[in-house]
Each structure stands twice: as C-alpha cells, then as structure tokens.
Chain A
Amino acid sequence: MWLRFGAIVLCILAAGAAAWSIVPWFDIQRWAAGEQRTFQNAMAGALRGIQAGDPRAVWTLCSATAAYGFFHALGPGHGKVLIGGAALASGATLKRLSILTVLSSLAQAATAILLVGGLYFLLQIGSADLADITETWLAPASYAAIAAIGAVLVFRGARSWHKIGQAKPAAHDCSGHAHGPSINDVATLTSARDAVALIASIALRPCTGALFVLVIAARFDAFAVGCLAVITMGLGTAAFNLTVVTSGVAARRLAGLGARDHQAMQAVSATLHVTGGVLIIAISIGMLLPYLD
C-alpha cells in the first residue's frame, strides 16, 4: 500500500516537474511584467482623464484594471498557489471551485475598498503607509494562513492514509468498505467552513495596485469609480485563476483514472491531499521567508 502511495506521489511530482521545466517561466514572467507595465500606464492615463472630467475614462480605467488584474495574476502570487493546490486535492467540482475563485478575488477587492475606505478616509492614513501595512503585515499573515491550510490538507491526507492502512486487515474478513474511511473524510472544500477559510486567507492581503487605484481615485474625488475599477481588477485576476483551477481539476482527474475501486479512489485522494498540501506549504513558506529576517 505504502509503495503504491509513494509511486503515485512520485508520478505526480515527476509530471509536475516535467511540465514545470517545459514552460519558459522567465520569459513568461518578463512578458507579463511588460504587459502589466503597459496596463499600469493605461490606468494612469485613465485616472488623469477622470481628473479632467472625461466620462469615457471610466471605461478605459475599468478595462485597464481588468487587464492589469489578469497579467498581475500571472506572477506566482499567493492566491493561485492555494487555489491550484486546493483544486488538486479537494473533491469539489469545477463549478464549485470556480465560484470560490471568483468570490476570493472579489473578497480581495472588498478588502482593498474597506482598507482605503476605513484607514484613508477615517484615519487619514496616507497611501505609502497603506502599502506598508499591506506589505509588512497583511502579506505575511496571508502566506502564513495559506501555509496553515496546506498543513490541514497534509494532515487530512495522512489521516486518511492511516485509516486505509488500518482498514486493510478487516477487508479480508468482511466485504470491506464499511470499515474504510468514508470518502467525505478526505474531500476538502466541500464544506462551507473550508470555503470561508480559503476565501479569507486570500482576501487577507489586498493587491497593492488596487489600493493605489483607490487612493488616487479618492484624491480625484472619484472613489466610487475607483471601487468599480478595483472590482473589475478582481474579475481580471479571477479570470486567470480560473485557468489554474481548471488545470488542478484536470490533474486530479488524471491521477484518479487508474483507480478502479472505492479504496483506490480514497488512496488517490489522500495522496493528492498530501501532494497539494506540501506544494502549498513549500511555496507559501518560500514567500514568507523574506519577511522573517
């Protein structure tokens, strides 16, 4: 049994590593950063248009922020890591995961709006300090929360492995499946509690770009336009993250292809939990490390 788990984990990692090495990450990153810069400049132009009272600038701004959100998400950000890992591990459907993705991006936009609405207007905290608060406190807090979710996934997978191991001798005596863990034991993200945890850990850290759009819009007495622009930015981010979710679900289905019976399905699910969890922990800790110095 353990040998089989090990083989599955290694296969998934090998496939992942192969996919990883084929993709020209550096070139993509560079290209994405260049596009981001273009749309960032377009946002600036639109904001100046709003200041000058051009009504069309609202649409320019919203399309620029949507594109910015999409290209900004191309970087190895925190949300994608969690969403991709969760899609790999969880038993949730593509539809449910897609809804979660859109909700988490919108929640992230809402955090930015609340932060600027609360701190900037009520407490008169400047944009530089807002960015500082985000980078110094919210970013590492969000990474830590995401790492914790990764740990939960690993724990659930390991517990399920353990149960399958225990259930095995019993399987010789009677028909077996009554003694094994139920599929629900390892299906993550099917509960509301899991969904809230996932959305909250992503929303904890707003995009700094969104904060700046809001603050500049506020300075030009167009906070409402800023809010609209930040929401379309969130939708742009969600659009990219949906491609990540789809790949995660596809990878999960691929891994499950070989499993014929109930117990094998559970073994695969448990293994995917551990794999997804380890990846989430590794990447989020990698992002957290610079903050620990």
Chain B
Amino acid sequence: MSHKFWGLLFVVMCLGGPAKAHPHVFVDARTGFIFGTDGQLEALRISWSYDEFTTLILFESLNLDQDGDGQFNDADRAAVIDGETNWDREYKGDVYLEVAGQDYPLGRPEAAAVTLENNQVEVSFDLPLSQPVRIEDAPTFLRLYDPVFFYAYTILPAKDPIALPEGCQAQIVPFEPNAAESALQEKLTALGREEAPTQENVGRLFSDEVRLTCG
C-alpha cells in the first residue's frame, strides 16, 4: 500500500506510545540547579509532589501511618525515601539532563527528604552529575518524563528557588502540543523513505522542560 497509508499507521502507533494517555500518577515536579563555587553545574535538585490518590496508594503499599494520626513518623519517612529514591540501576528516575545535545549521565539520589502537606506526599532529593560540567554556551535542558506515560509530570516553579550563578537563567518551557506535532512530522518525513520505522522514545517530545542558559 501507499506510503501515506503506512505514514498514517505510524502516526497512530506513535500516538499509541507516549499519548497512551493512561497516566495514573500525576506529579507536580519542582527543579533546581546546584552549582559549585567554581561555577560548574554539580547536581540537580528534584522534588515530586504526588496527587492525593497516589498518596493514598503510597499509604497502603508502604503501610504508612499505622497509628492513624495522619502524620508521618521517622519510620514512615524512611519507608517513603527508600521506596522513592533507592531505585533500580536501569531506572533513570525519569530525570533526563541534556548538555550540548547529549544525554548527560547522572548519579544516585542524595539528601532525600519527605513531607506530607494537603494530603500530598512530597519527596525531594539531589541528583549529582556524574562529572561537574561547565555550562557556558552549551544548550542545557532538563526534562522529566516517564517513557510509558504512567507518570505524568508537570514542572512548576520551585518554592524556594536555588540561586543561580551570575548570568545564568533557568526557564520552564511547558509542553507545547504544536511543537511536538511538528517534531513528530519531521521524524515521519525522515523515516518515510526507507525501512519500517522503529519505535523511538517519543516520550520526550511530550514533556515539560527546563532550559538552562549561562553567559
């Protein structure tokens, strides 16, 4: 059959991937960039505030608040921190840092803390970069997304913003449907010529991002 037909099918299949749109967990995320005294980017600060329903699920699955006073004690906090930040090696925490067009490797969560406010659990932690990096004119993007869209992340402005070095700016760029559509379109045109398209990680096309610029 015609290319148009396969193109259409591919679009349908792509939409079936990221826009599988069966998010079950809604996360209000807040981000921060931690620079060293030498002006290099050393770590990211991430916080995830879960929706009320997911908070109830956490209570159930981790058996929290056994005394039923609606407050976390130390054991509850430790259980949440362990469940949320002691993740498998292959999991990236749904946190993706891109520096100069390359995925930048990140370490494991540190300095994790947990709070319970307005019936929502909030977990925060620092994610060190594998190597500190000088940003200068390297275009830098921080994206939070789940490739299979079970978790839907929305990036919100930080409650207590971490000061950035002189000349640096971090700007939240919310997901823009038209941008994603045109990026997908470009991919399609590129793929149309040859073999059957492989499923790519299109999840990132649909995520909010934080753009960091210095200098």
Which residues from chain A sit less than 8 Å from chain B, CB to CB? 13, 16-17, 20, 24-27, 29-30, 32-33, 36-37, 40-41, 43-45, 47-48, 72, 74-77, 126-128, 135, 208-209, 212, 215-216, 219, 278-279, 282-283, 285-287, 289-290
Contact status B61-A126, CB under 8 Å: yes
Chain B, residue nearest A17 (CB): B8
Contact status A33-B21, CB under 8 Å: yes
Q: Is the interface on chain B under 10, 10 to 19, 20 to 34, or 35 or more residues?
A: 35 or more
A75 and B61 CA atoms in complex are apart in Å by: 26
Question: Number of A-B pairs whose CB atoms are under 8 Å?
Answer: 105
Q: State which of A47, A77, A283 has its C-beta within 8 Å of the C-beta of B56.
A: A47
Contact status A77-B22, CB under 8 Å: yes
Chain A, residue nearest B83 (CB): A128
Contact status B19-A25, CB under 8 Å: yes
Interface of B is mostly: helix
Say if the beta carbon of B78 comes within 8 Å of chain A.
no
CB B57 to nearest CB in A, in angstroms, measures 5
Chain B, residue nearest A41 (CB): B52
Contact status B57-A215, CB under 8 Å: yes
**Interface hub of A33, A215, A285 (most chain B Cβ within 10 A):** A33
Q: State which of A25, A37, A216 has its C-beta within 8 Å of the C-beta of B60.
A: A216
CB A177 to nearest CB in B, in angstroms, measures 31
Interface of A is mostly: helix
Contact status B16-A76, CB under 8 Å: yes
Contact status B23-A36, CB under 8 Å: yes
Residue numbers in A under 8 Å from B21 (CB-CB): 29, 32-33, 74-76
Of the stretches B109-117, B130-138, B147-155, the one at the interface is B147-155
CB B136 to nearest CB in A, in angstroms, measures 35
Contact status B53-A41, CB under 8 Å: yes
